Structure 1
Amino acid sequence: MCKLHGGTEADAAGMDITKGREILPANVVPTHYDLTVEPDFKKFTYEGTVIVDLDVAEDSTSISLNTLELDIHSTKIISGSQTISSSPSLSYDESSQTTKITFENSLKKGSKAQLEMKFTGQLNDKMAGFYRSTYKNTDGSQGVLATTQMEPTDARRAFPCFDEPSLKAEFTISLIADKKLTCLSNMDVASEADVQSEMSGTTKKIVKFNRSPRMSTYLVAFIVGELNYIETDKFRLPVRVYAPPNQDIEHGRFSLELAARTLEFYEKTFDSPFPLPKMDMVAIPDFAAGAMENWGLITYRVVDVLFDEKTSGASTKERVAEVVQHELAHQWFGNLVTMDFWDGLWLNEGFATWMSWYSCNIFYPEWKVWQSYVTDTLQGALSLDSLRSSHPIEVPVKKAEEVNQIFDAISYSKGSCVLRMISKYLGEDAFMEGIRQYLKKHAYGNTQTGDLWAALSQASGKNVVETMDIWTKHVGYPVVSVTENEKDNTIHVKQNRLLRTADVKPEEDQVLYPVFLGLRTKDGVNEELVLSKREDNFKIPSLDFFKLNADHSGIYRTSYTPKRLEKLGQAARDGLLSVEDRTGMIADAGALAACGYQKTSGVLNLLKGFDSETEFVVWNEIISRLGAIQGAWIFEDQKIRDGLETFQRDLVSEKAHKAGWVFKDGDDHIQQQFKGMLFGSAGMAGDATVRKAAKDMFAKFAAGDKSAIHPNIRGSVFGMALKYGGKEEYEVILDTYRKSVNVDERNTALRTLGRSKDPELIKRTLELPFSGEVKEQDVYLPLSALRTHPEGIGALYEWMTQNFDELARRFPAGLSMLGTLVSICTSSFTKKADLERVEKFFDGKSLKGFNQSLAQSCDAIKAKEAWLSRDRQDIKEWVEAYQAKSIKSEL
């Protein structure tokens, strides 16, 4: 799955992570499901029948399976030709979401049985289980389609089942629907026939799909609705993209062709043929995640699969490519070979994330994705994992409602970073050979992390288990402090746990990580050096030039002396550092200032020294680190905030003017993003020339010229219109959201509305989530930009506290949206008093399903509060000196 989006520190080392799991009894094992479902689009309900073939592992007078919000109408148990019970007793346990079926005649160990259940369910609006998704047709009428989202634990919401990843079975699915509707499932169609519907009394069709291979319940999928499709024959099996009739299906062409190429590439790379008879990819109008890897039937948010070159920017294209390749990687890693329980989620998500970058790099080398990996994936992992309320990659999961909280930057980003680190250490050939062995050995089965390490050890001849278990079973990562001894050309390297709150306790600093030092010197990169002790000395060729963590494939921060940092700044200017090195060095310096390892003024001076930098990703990180400082100082004295904005303007304005904001056909992928970023950064920092250009474009756009704003700068132009404009500009952007047919443009409009500081407009923005005109999948979008100014941050929190009961009702604990909203509404505060307000509000409330998000928000506030108390005066003095110097140079 591709995600968009009280915790106590869980350390899984040395403990049995299976202990205390709420799992089903092992007395029966499902082998095959025969499932028939018929949706009712008028009542938003559905009827279903499921017949489950069971192997009986123990003498049994009861069967327990998972159900959630289903009404069971009849239950029958058959063994051989004998009906064991046609009216057994049923009891439901709400906390474990299980129905227990009890009967008198015992099922005998070693026998086979069948469980038949008839049931009805709600075609709900929660984007979970079997649910309804709506869209507006071009004539203004509402279209409805019924679709599924089973991961992680919502197959039980769709039909009674044994809803655990390790309980794999084969599935034969049949759908009953109106004849005009398209029916899809994981497999291809076996037969289609007319049927008299008991539910409606009319003649419908029953579409029966071929029997699937063994798979987990969370990968089951079926869709009923009005859909158009395009198809390609560029893969040996049919590949299609489907979309509702209100979308231009041709916008799926990029994803379609990419999918065909990617499937062929993965088959060769994994030496494993795709085992299903077809691949369908469907754009779903209401979708909680970014996409879901259902075997043979991948579902997507519209914006993550449909792409129009004319109306979307370069970054959107990259996102679509990455999501498509991520979901297709899952067809092997996750679907063919599946983790045995949710604590192994990272095996699915970490690998699919790594593989999407790996394949993207091969398909689009000019995108230089391993460079942006350092700013995107690595920084996301290091940021979350520097909080006390982070969790290990392999995190113990006990209950269903805990699972959604680990679909985060640890499972995805840190998981993929661990794989990148090990692939560099073993070498790509040995790493890929290990992956092939792993897939061959465990096809159609379930695995634990140790199985992957065993395959990589065998392929490489290195003891991977010993090295990597420490990285996956412990929370956090180290900061590596470097000092130098000029007498004997040695460096002294020491590792300690890094916490953003800068208050590491001795008991939290026990773990010693195997740190791959990746020493870069003028002779090249030495990948053999590993620090596995607390501290050690290493001899190096020369102290003139060296840098640790070459290309930043290691999961740690490096703290240098101010003198060495200065020399590295010079080395960057002299061309001795790779793009990844320069980017990572800036990221480390910024993060370490926030953690108290150096002064924030030193970071600002470092950024100033990069004025001759020419690479997009480095500038992306410079602007990002400056943004982090501005975020921490958002409630401070206006003069200081204005001074930081002036500094930003001085950094980027000249570059923005030089690059320009006219996009030509000859601009490459990176150049487009670079121009767009400089334009936005200069304009939002108040550059007069850029602001005027944006104002002119916006005026033409408002007058009806929809091509006046290039997609690469649409968000920036809208953002400036709202930051420097008023009600009139707000109306134009809101109207764009309401009337545009382009999903990308609508999302951009919605995402920028919160930039307005006008109290009346803030109020209107906060009314949008419950207005009925914003889909529940998008409720966080209008809220996000309110975090860019103090007025918005305060209003967001008030809105959350006033509407919390309604939010909890709309977004139940088992789904992830409530955690996202709590995080957005609380994490931007910077003061102790606000932290106390947040803690007081949630005191005594059930934190079920979002305790981790809340704990991480509170940690983030504590970290900023500590940062400010250390460096408030430091920044004040730096800004005053900078402004004095600026005035002097102007005179």
Structure 2
Amino acid sequence: MPGENLTRIEAQERRAVVETHEYDVVLDLTTGPEVFRSTTTVRFASTDGAHTFIDLIARDVHSITLNGRSIDPAVAFADSRIVLDGLAAENELVVEADCLYTNTGEGLHRFVDPVDGEVYLYSQFEVPDSRRVFAVFEQPDLKAGFKFTVTAPAAWKVVSNSPTPEPTPLDGDRATWAFERTPRISSYITALIAGPYEATFSELTSASGRVIPLGVYARKSLWQHLDADYVFEKTRQGFAYYEDKFAYPYPFAKYDQLFVPEFNAGAMENAGAVTFTETYVFRSKVTDAIKERRVVTILHELAHMWFGDLVTMKWWNDLWLNESFAEWASTIATAEATEWTEAWTTFNAMEKTWAYRQDQLPSTHPVVAEINDLEDVQVNFDGITYAKGGSVLKQLAAWVGIDAFFAGVGAYFRAHEWGNTELGDLLAELERTSGRELGTWSKKWLETAGVNTLSPLIEEDAEGNITRFGVVQTAPADYPTIRPHRIGIGFYGLEGDALVRVHHVELDVDGDRTDVPELKGRKRPDLVLLNDEDLAYAKIRLDERSLATAIE
């Protein structure tokens, strides 16, 4: 039996017979501390006469109605699935169930604040946990519009992907919020956050001319510590940077950022309703490193609004690309659009160093992992998938050129907006904007493991002038791939107590040895640095003179 797992083959088979249109999800959060009532209406097309299943994790399923026909839950519901037989060309499915709150950060998390006893809820649906809240075809390539209607205590704030509407009062200090339907998005980036959150609001004008409402939320007992104005400032800087570089306006109606308790990750890119760990609500003085990391995280999640939410991977094997792109984009945006101009240095010290360590262990593997089912997702995302993936994406941007890279990304968003893609779709756009063939690059960088070593080969005459300069590339015996690199070479000279760059060239390196004739005839400097500007993902060696200078 499948349990709670889903294989890639099952997802492909389901996608072949199902096309989702829209969900109406009605939730009652006033039914007690353990369960909430969930009523889902799904409208979808199907191959006439086909059979498939929809996903749901629930304590009790009260009723299932398919195209007006009642289905016995005792027969159809098992192993987190509801079997659907005899489908029509167009279908309407209604499922009424009682679902469980969690305290594990999966599905709808329920937290009781020990300070004041207040109850706070928030959703966390990545990878396969929207099915803990409503019946859903739980795979990223079955996108739909989602309309949430939520009944909750009238004193609460309720937030979802669409702008929060005025609530309709009910009896007993309850109210109902009826949200507008979202654009076509994947189920894992839908969101519901509810409780007596404190909030403050602002707005910005998008490149499209639309006014985008902004919100920042946190629980009452932490509100005094939240520097919301700074969060808004970094958000505005990120919006301006991404809309300019992507040449694509922000795609959603509003942008809320919510700091939530007991969050089991750093943040989550729910469309228009990003959740963050409360670690980023600083209750005392923190280091600059932590301040910078928060800015990178804010811009990481904002980048996902385009790469991940607007355009989404077909299956979880491309989750590495989702995260690597957001890490690359947030780092360059932090370095170029905020006061944290040394963000790439932090990236090298943290992510890249982590990747180098992981890539030299027996457990290393290619960046592109084979994700056969949902269980594979949980075990395959590590320092290779995230940190090396981000480092390799930085090298790709250098390989094609930063202007061509941004142009290709913008073209990718325009070509695939509201759709689903694979890695090849992005590479195709980058090939068009850069003129470079990237199939070979992708195979060598993403489908093989290991890290190369680059060493300088320097010969000089009696006067200290370079007569020959080359870059030698080697690979470990277990992972012998020789890769193409775009690198900088820096010449540095001692000026008093300072080491100053006196010359710099940027070039492609490929094969076992690459000669650099443009450095011939130059005076040999005190220090030669391969991979100057840290574009490439490779181990770097110093020649003897450079090593002595560095040690000194």
Same fold (TM over 0.5): yes
- 1:66 has 2:55 as partner: yes
Say how many residue pairs are matched: 521
Which amino acid letter does the alignment assign opposite residue 484 of structure 2?
A: P
Q: TM-score, normalised by structure 2?
A: 0.87
Change (3 A) 1:358 1:551: same
1:652-731 → structure 2 map (5 Å cutoff): none
- 1:132 has 2:101 as partner: no
Q: Deviations over 1:173-228 (max 9, x none)?
A: 011111111111110134532346xxxxx462110101000001110100110111
Of 72, 96, 106, 1:87 maps to: 72
Of 158, 171, 176, 1:206 maps to: 176
Equivalent-residue separation in structure 2 for 1:84 and 1:496 (angstroms): 63
Of 494, 506, 516, 1:527 maps to: 506
- What's the counterpart of residue 147 of structure 1? 122
Change (3 A) 1:536 1:364: closer
Equivalent-residue separation in structure 1 for 2:515 and 2:247 (angstroms): 43
- 1:122 has 2:100 as partner: yes
Q: Deviations over 1:584-603 (max 9, x none)?
A: xxxxxxxxxxxxxxxxxxxx
Equivalent-residue separation in structure 2 for 1:24 and 1:36 (angstroms): 29
- What's the counterpart of residue 332 of structure 1? 306
Of 83, 87, 90, 1:107 maps to: 87
- 1:446 has 2:424 as partner: no
- 1:215 has 2:185 as partner: yes
**Post-superposition shift, 1:247?**
1.2
- 1:375 has 2:349 as partner: yes
Q: Deviations over 1:48-99 (max 9, x none)?
A: 0000001113422x33122234422210001xxxx244437644564xx433
- 1:357 has 2:331 as partner: yes
1:507-656 → structure 2 map (5 Å cutoff): 508-521=478-491, 524-531=503-510, 533-535=511-513, 539=517, 540-541=519-520, 544-545=524-525, 546-560=528-542, 564-570=543-549, 572=550, 606=551, 609=552
Equivalent-residue separation in structure 1 for 2:161 and 2:446 (angstroms): 32
Q: Deviations over 1:801-860 (max 9, x none)?
A: xxxxxxxxxxxxxxxxxxxxxxxxxxxxxxxxxxxxxxxxxxxxxxxxxxxxxxxxxxxx
- What's the counterpart of residue 435 of structure 1? 409
- 1:426 has 2:416 as partner: no
Which amino acid letter does the alignment assign opposite residue 107 of structure 1?
A: L
**Post-superposition shift, 1:537?**
5.3
Of 244, 248, 256, 2:232 maps to: 256
**Post-superposition shift, 1:352?**
0.8
| Root-mean-square deviation over aligned CA pairs | 2.5
- What's the counterpart of residue 4 of structure 2? none
- What's the counterpart of residue 499 of structure 2? none
Q: TM-score, normalised by structure 1?
A: 0.55
Change (3 A) 1:178 1:490: closer
Which amino acid letter does the alignment assign opposite residue 435 of structure 2?
A: G
SS at match of 1:159: coil
Equivalent-residue separation in structure 1 for 2:181 and 2:96 (angstroms): 21
Who wins on radius of gyration, i.e. which is larger?
A: 1
Asked whether the 8 Å contact 2:20–2:143 carries over to 1, the reply is yes
**Post-superposition shift, 1:170?**
0.6
SS at match of 1:136: coil
**Post-superposition shift, 1:355?**
1.1
Change (3 A) 1:534 1:53: same
- What's the counterpart of residue 345 of structure 1? 319
Which amino acid letter does the alignment assign opposite residue 449 of structure 2?
A: V
- What's the counterpart of residue 314 of structure 1? 288
Of 473, 491, 494, 1:494 maps to: 473
- What's the counterpart of residue 247 of structure 1? 222
- What's the counterpart of residue 275 of structure 2? 299
- 1:51 has 2:41 as partner: yes
SS at match of 2:472: strand
**Post-superposition shift, 1:113?**
0.4
- Identity over aligned residues, as a percent? 26
Equivalent-residue separation in structure 2 for 1:403 and 1:426 (angstroms): 30
SS at match of 2:264: coil
Of 141, 145, 149, 1:166 maps to: 141
Of 171, 179, 193, 2:154 maps to: 179
Change (3 A) 1:446 1:534: same
Higher share of residues assigned helix = 1
Change (3 A) 1:534 1:351: same
- What's the counterpart of residue 228 of structure 1? 198
Higher share of residues assigned strand = 2
Equivalent-residue separation in structure 2 for 1:524 and 1:419 (angstroms): 26
Equivalent-residue separation in structure 1 for 2:516 and 2:233 (angstroms): 50
Equivalent-residue separation in structure 1 for 2:332 and 2:119 (angstroms): 37
SS at match of 2:309: coil
Query: Structure 2: 5+ residue runs without aligned partners?
Result: 1-6, 206-210, 462-466, 493-501
Asked whether the 8 Å contact 1:239–1:260 carries over to 2, the reply is no
- What's the counterpart of residue 77 of structure 1? 66
SS at match of 2:149: strand
- What's the counterpart of residue 265 of structure 1? 241
Asked whether the 8 Å contact 1:39–1:123 carries over to 2, the reply is no
Q: Deviations over 1:398-454 (max 9, x none)?
A: 121221334433333222212211222322211111111111111101111111111
Equivalent-residue separation in structure 1 for 2:360 and 2:76 (angstroms): 45
SS at match of 2:238: helix
- What's the counterpart of residue 254 of structure 2? 278
Equivalent-residue separation in structure 1 for 2:253 and 2:9 (angstroms): 40
Q: Deviations over 1:736-790 (max 9, x none)?
A: xxxxxxxxxxxxxxxxxxxxxxxxxxxxxxxxxxxxxxxxxxxxxxxxxxxxxxx
Equivalent-residue separation in structure 2 for 1:481 and 1:22 (angstroms): 46
**Post-superposition shift, 1:282?**
0.7
Change (3 A) 1:88 1:314: closer
Equivalent-residue separation in structure 2 for 1:253 and 1:307 (angstroms): 14
**Post-superposition shift, 1:517?**
4.4
Q: Deviations over 1:330-377 (max 9, x none)?
A: 111111011111110122111111111111112335642222222122
Equivalent-residue separation in structure 2 for 1:407 and 1:370 (angstroms): 22
Asked whether the 8 Å contact 1:172–1:209 carries over to 2, the reply is yes
Change (3 A) 1:390 1:159: farther
SS at match of 1:454: helix
Q: Deviations over 1:714-735 (max 9, x none)?
A: xxxxxxxxxxxxxxxxxxxxxx
SS at match of 1:261: helix
Which amino acid letter does the alignment assign opposite residue 39 of structure 1?
A: L
SS at match of 1:550: coil
Of 56, 81, 89, 1:98 maps to: 81
- What's the counterpart of residue 208 of structure 2? none
1:780-859 → structure 2 map (5 Å cutoff): none
Equivalent-residue separation in structure 2 for 1:457 and 1:337 (angstroms): 19
Equivalent-residue separation in structure 2 for 1:248 and 1:569 (angstroms): 53
1:474-493 → structure 2 map (5 Å cutoff): 474-484=448-458, 489-491=468-470, 493=472
Which amino acid letter does the alignment assign opposite residue 44 of structure 1?
A: E
Query: Structure 1: 5+ residue runs without aligned partners?
Result: 1-17, 197-201, 498-503, 573-605, 610-891
Change (3 A) 1:221 1:474: same
- What's the counterpart of residue 790 of structure 1? none
Equivalent-residue separation in structure 1 for 2:427 and 2:363 (angstroms): 27
Of 376, 387, 402, 2:361 maps to: 387
